[in-house]
Homo-oligomer: A and B are copies of this chain.
């Protein structure tokens, strides 16, 4: 569970709602037509930019922004050193029955156990990483698009409201409320883009970054093991993945 996304989203919406309620009249902030043009319009234009499958898969993708499955790099490093020692003592084939927590790690170890050429192992794993990141970027692109389209749709809505208001401007007293309604679409667009779509896109980018980080570490570890490098060298290499404050000297005794 990624509480940051949840707390941030609910908190930000509550803050905006609070600012509205403090002004006394939440009703002035609700206008059906404005909601339709911004929300429906944004979704339809976003649909234009993607395929039907990508569009409806977006909710599933958004879910990832609220769920954290980060594999702690320290755990991955400890496991890598363990496997490196195991392989050094009992041969690479002994890794077949080793207990490996992560799916990608398991796949990498299997490729090594199968006796494939290091170049092939490297190339398959990098291809996996690269294409996984591409899939993440595709999912993220929908929320980025919503964040771009919502302000554009809300500007169109505000322009329509302004033209309607100006065309029939007889009584100056009515300008205020009519203009308020015209501005509502701008407000809706700003909230959808800045409080929902763009933060989710950014959190998905962070998630993708974490996965790239963990998979890079695993590739470095497995290639090091396959090349039969000294476990201490492997640890020196992998420790770079930790901030200096967390580089555990005691692990060297392992």
Contact = CB atoms under 8 A, between A and B. Distances in A.
A237 B131 CA distance: 11
Interface stretch (A16-24, A74-82, A83-91, A93-101): A16-24
A253 interface: no
Contacts of A71: none
A162 interface: yes
A99 to B, nearest CB: 20
Contact of A9 (B48, B184, B195): B48
Nearest to A134: B213
A23 B160 contact: yes
Interface in A8-62: 8-9, 11-12, 15-16, 18-20, 22-25, 28-29, 33, 36-37, 40-41, 44-52, 55
Given A15-B44, A36-B18, A41-B15, A163 B135 contact: no
Interface string A127-167: 11001101100000000010001001101110111111111
Contacts of A240: 124, 127-128, 131-132
Interface residues of A, number: 95
Task: List the 4 closest A-B pairs by CB distance, nearest first.
Answer: A8-B48, A169-B176, A166-B180, A48-B199
Given A156-B194, A163-B187, A186-B159, A19 B47 contact: no
Contacts of A128: 240
A191 interface: yes
A22 B247 CA distance: 53
Contacts of A184: 163
A149 B16 CA distance: 14
Given A157-B19, A187-B160, A120 B47 contact: no
Given A36-B15, A159-B183, A159-B187, A149 B194 contact: yes
